[in-house]
Amino acid sequence: MSASRVIEGAERGWIIPIGGAEEKEDSPQILRRFVALAGGRGADIAVIPTASAVSSTGPRYERLFADMGARRVVSLDFDTRRDAEEPSRLERLRAATGVFFTGGNQLRLSTLVGGTSVAKAVRQMNAGGTPVAGSVRLAPGLGLTNRFIIDQHFRQRDRLGRLLTALAYNPFAVGIGLDEDTAAFISPDNTVEVEGSGGITVVDASEVQFSSMDSVAEGDPVCLLGVKLHILARGATFNLQSRRPDAGSLVKSKR
């Protein structure tokens, strides 16, 4: 599925993948910044808790976002693919100024929502400027962008090898590994900013000198020479278009 084309004149909305286990009570930097991007005091947030098996997930986020000052919050659950075609819910969704997918079972989310009118609506809303955040791998099924491959709980579970394998199949994408309580705030101009308490590992295979991916026998190890790797902390950025990292505010703070 390809990403929706940006509507003429409109800027694409922020895309905000979250690395799992984001801080919700004491210092919810990620959730706060999402509310601000969705309009702050004017925010109308649609929470989609479909990935979660716990029925209290939706109401919990409703309360959290309301406490942070959002004007309206509604939890929209989709238990069947037919739910995801229902006009009244779609209308409610389209009124939102920010969409938030909760964490949980990714397969459940893509099975119930992938390819439905809900997925299409979210893509169109994002193309028109609405920020979409989620404690989920946002790519599969939703198709917001094909620029990157996301992995979560990244350094907590030491998953670089897994991300590299995914990239070997799709070397033009950028691999983004999110630590827990860490989100990539991807701006309309495709700059990755870091929010939260951890770091973001960026794996860029665009300048690979050699790959044996096309000739390797099954089961044999792939050879991949010249991958670039950056670990971003808060203040540093990476542009997905130019593939350039920048230490940003971290350089000044060293003085």
- Least separation in angstroms between residue 167's CB and a second copy is 11
Cβ proximity to a second copy: between 96 and 203 the closer is 203
Decide: 100 and 48 in contact? Cβ < 8 Å.
yes
Handedness of CA 34, 39, 41, 45 (dihedral sign): negative
Classify 1 as helix, strand or coil. Answer: coil
Among 90, 231, 239, 243, binds a second copy (CB under 8 A): 231
Count of CB atoms within 10 A of residue 184's CB? 26
* Chain-centre distance for alpha carbon 133: 6
For the CB of residue 192, give the shortest distance to a second copy in the complex, in Å: 12
Q: Does 26 bind a second copy (CB under 8 A)?
A: no
Query: Quick one: 80 or 210, whose CB is closer to a second copy?
Result: 210
Q: Of the ranges 84-92, 95-103, 132-140, 159-167, which one interacts with a second copy (CB under 8 A)? A: 159-167
Per the CB < 8 A criterion, the answer to whether 238 and 190 are in contact is: no
| Tokens 């099924």 belong to residue | 141
Q: Is 30 in the site for a second copy (CB under 8 A)?
A: no
Query: Is 143 in contact with 127 (CB distance < 8 Å)?
Result: no
Asked if 167 is part of the footprint of a second copy (rule: CB under 8 A), the reply reads no
Of positions 220, 239, 240, 241, contacts a second copy by CB under 8 A = 220
Q: What is the largest CA-CA distance in the chain?
A: 58
Residue type, position 135, single letter: S
Interaction of residue 250 with a second copy, rule CB under 8 A: yes
**Residue with token string 């400027």:** 129
Identity of the residue, 74 or 233, whose beta carbon is nearer to a second copy in the bound complex: 233
For the bound state, the minimum distance from the C-beta of residue 109 to a second copy, rounded and expressed in Å, comes to 25
Considering beta carbons, is residue 143 or 177 the nearer one to a second copy? Answer: 177
In whole angstroms, the minimum distance from the beta carbon of 23 to a second copy comes to 14
Q: Does 150 interact with a second copy (rule: CB under 8 A)?
A: no
Given 36, 164, 171, 188, the residue binding a second copy (CB under 8 A): 164
Contact 116, 84 (CB under 8 A): yes
Contact call for residue 7 and a second copy (CB under 8 A): no
- Residue number with CB closer to a second copy (20 or 245): 245
Q: Which is nearer to a second copy, 80 or 209 (CB)?
A: 209
* Neighbour-count burial for 78-115, b at 16+ CB within 10 Å, e otherwise: beeeebbebeebbeebeebbbbbbbbbebeebbebbbe
Q: Is 161 in the site for a second copy (CB under 8 A)?
A: yes
* Shortest distance (Å) from residue 9 CB to a second copy: 35
Q: Measuring CA to CA, how many Å separate 10 from each of 93, 95, 129?
A: 19, 17, 7
Contact by Cβ (8 Å): 14, 186: yes
Which positions lie near a second copy, rule CB under 8 A?
A: 154-155, 157-162, 164, 179, 197-199, 203, 209-210, 212, 214-216, 220-236, 245-247, 250-251, 253-254
